[in-house]
A = this chain, B = another copy of it.
Amino acid sequence: MVLSSSIGYAQPDRKALEQAYIGQIVKDLPTPACILNRTKVKDNCDAMLSNAESLGVGFRAHIKTHKTLEGVRLQLGSSNHGKIIVSTLMEAYSCLPLVEEGLVHDILYGLPVAPSKIPELAELATMMPYLRLMMDSEAQLDALIAHSRARPDTKKWSVFVKVDCGTHRAGLPTNSSALQSLISYLLAPEVSQFVDIYGFYCHAGHSYHDTSTGSAKETLFAEITSADAAAKYALSVLKSEDTSRFVISVGATPTAHASHAVKKAELPAVSGALELHAGCYGFCDLQQYATNLIEFEDISIRVLAEVVSQYDERDEMLINAGCIALSRETGPIPGYGNVCGSATGWTVGRISQEHGILTRCDKSATMTPVGQKVLIVPQHACITGASYEWYYIVEESGLNAKVVDVWIRFNGW
């Protein structure tokens, strides 16, 4: 079949971009633009790999924040983990060159399976050693089984069961009868001939509200305990004590950051192989900064905009970046983005489609002249990045950094 991700979507012209922009200085780029400090991305990625290594656990990189081949390489480093999570079929499809290369061998499609996507997922599964799916409903399983029965050449499905440890997005609550019923159904012979449980998965999205290492560490332990309870239940159904049978995959960027403060001996004993996962940590943003788990200097993403007007009567400035360029994401830190560097003292207080209004957050700050560029740290890197077709890559901070590369994103679904 033809994968829908391969229909119609076009890739930006990398050669034209490289020729036009490599060697340019950030402040001379067309605005709005999305700028990434590769040195910081690499440091953030290495730090996370080192967390996993210190704890002796596996690592699975969520690629939805950056959606680039170069970003996957930095996330995996020299670790040979080879395991990633994607949020769209387009991301999985676009990573096929890395699968072919051997860098990636295990892809988890992280959204609970939409029945209509099953034929494409079956096709993608044949293109890599391991494609994992996310399960949280018997209806999804029924659709998988129906496909496998109709197409006996279908590869056996490998799935994570999603456990809701408090975010109330996807997943079933720990120890709930719904979760136990799903697990029992998965292990029943009429299902298990087509579908294999690979592991149990928790994502504490609510950890974005944590504001200290201590509380994020507690949330990390809650993720582990929640996923482990599901694994324990599955082992009890199987009447097995094989703690290598399942993978227990946990993490959200704040809890994954907090893993840095966990000693191996502190880790709860679990009935499976522990695996850490996270995505936003490579870029970070104001939401991550608000958790107090990173330094402001760790944030690697900026939106470049230009001051286009000043309004003395209302003490505001206009920039040419609005909610398309920045996204309408908010967080504990007020505004839609913080202005860095010499213009510090201003925040993006209001936005419409292409207009941003800088409002004052420091009485002593002066206005930035019309025509000067400003760098803005966004609230939520995953959503802000989605408006851009490519990132301009630099290796240092500020308006005078030189562009050293261009990374092209896999947008679409």
Q: What residues make up the interface of A, taking CB atoms closer than 8 Å to B? A: 2, 4, 7-14, 16-17, 20, 28, 30-32, 64, 87-88, 111-116, 136-137, 139-140, 143, 168-170, 172-173, 176, 178, 205, 306, 308-314, 316, 318, 320, 323-325, 327-329, 350, 352-355, 357, 369-371, 373, 382-383, 386-387, 389-390, 406, 411-413
Contact = CB atoms under 8 A, between A and B. Distances in A.
19 contacts: A2-B20, A9-B12, A88-B354, A115-B306, A137-B309, A139-B310, A139-B369, A139-B371, A140-B308, A143-B370, A172-B311, A173-B313, A178-B311, A178-B312, A323-B327, A324-B386, A328-B328, A353-B382, A389-B411
B389 A169 contact: no
A320 B9 contact: no
- Across the A-B interface, give the 9 residue pairs with the lowest CB-CB distance, nearest first: A115-B371, A139-B370, A10-B10, A4-B30, A8-B17, A114-B306, A8-B12, A137-B309, A328-B328
A309 B386 contact: no
Contact of A7 (B17, B306, B327, B412): B17
A121 B16 CA distance: 21
A203 to B, nearest CB: 10
B9 A389 contact: yes
Contacts of A2: 20
B354 A8 contact: no
A146 B316 CA distance: 25
A108 to B, nearest CB: 13
A237 to B, nearest CB: 21
Given A8-B390, A139-B369, A112 B318 contact: yes
A137 B168 contact: no
A169 B115 contact: no
A150 to B, nearest CB: 15
B115 A353 contact: no
Contact of A328 (B111, B116, B329, B350): B329
Contacts of A143: 370-371
